[in-house]
Structure 1
């Protein structure tokens, strides 16, 4: 089973840090899984223009193909102006409608205020549901204040939630896989 993490931030390292921690938690829970982290700042994903995927650059094709080949996914985004990043929305616009069919898709976000924690439930979750993703009930929202100068999170509750999300993604994906065999 392959779990792909997507960091939807084009600047900073907070979102990347949380995605990495979720991937490590999942790997600790099940050492047989393969993990990969896609950091959108490392790729030149072209703007969607309504043409077939093969018309886009190699980075765009690679990122989309990696998502399509994954068994399960964890997506992270900083919250800007009460929304996900434009880079993440653009990437999601490249995906076909059933791209996430039978794929557990965990959610994390980082932000400067606790007032934006519902962006995951009211903005990102509907997009992933439209793409047929299986979205766990729990997600992780991390305030910028929870990070220290080295980008470490020392809040025990946040670290517990990160670990639980990693475990839940793997457990749910195994259940989805079993159900799809029936």
Structure 2
């Protein structure tokens, strides 16, 4: 599996890159994905050229392809004017509109004050929801005073575990276990049910006039007019 990490930090060293690295480490504790970091500040000129010409230079094209092919994505931006940075938005404006559909994306942001802590919810999450990405419940915002605090470490750990869980491919383990259970029941002489789940759990009418599974072949449906007439008689 491939984990692509997009950092929009502008300085070096960068608190945005630091948060991206921490989120990556937390994710890799739960998955053996291969990480790759894309520093947007190194692609700023190429991003501007693509926006103007419509053609991506080679390095930018490789970065866009890497995001599209990733099994999971970590996207971290500094906060500018209470939102994501222009560089961050410009890069994701260039992503193919279907590239992130169903892709797990962990969101992160850094800022100088806790007052911007909801930027992940009012700016980042709507953007990636529009791109139809699969977003973990936890997004991580780190203000300057949060570094070294236990609360930030806990949020990072929880977010990494959530992303890894979404990245883990569905296996046939549960299906195989259910098949083994049914085989054992059949061998013991039990009848393995083969009914629609909704039919099996739907409630039976107190009067018995409308039933969910009165017949072995499925639902018995009583027309509304017939039911209404029955109620009038009662």
- After TM superposition, is the score higher than 0.5? yes
Q: CA deviation at 1:26?
A: 1.3
CA distance in 1, matches of 2:133, 2:149: 29
Mapped pair 1:178 → 2:170? yes
1:70 matched residue in structure 2: 70
Runs of 4+ residues over 3 Å off in structure 1? none
2:163 to 153, 169, 175: 169
Task: State the structure with bigger RCO (CA 8 A, min sep 6), 1 or 2.
Answer: 1
CA distance in 1, matches of 2:11, 2:86: 12
The 3-state SS of whatever aligns with 1:49 is helix
RMSD: 1.7
Mapped pair 1:18 → 2:26? no
1:150 matched residue in structure 2: none
1:11-66 C-alpha deviation (Å, 9 max, x unpaired): 24101001101111111222x21111111122243222373xxx221121121111
2:207 matched residue in structure 1: none
Which one has a bigger Cα radius of gyration? 2
Q: CA deviation at 1:93?
A: 0.5
The runs of 5 or more residues in structure 1 that have no matched partner are 147-152
TM-score, length of structure 2 as denominator length: 0.67
Q: Contact 2:28–2:164 (CA<8 Å) still a contact in 1?
A: no
CA distance in 2, matches of 1:50, 1:39: 22
The 3-state SS of whatever aligns with 2:106 is strand
- Count of aligned pairs between the two proteins: 167
Mapped pair 1:4 → 2:4? yes
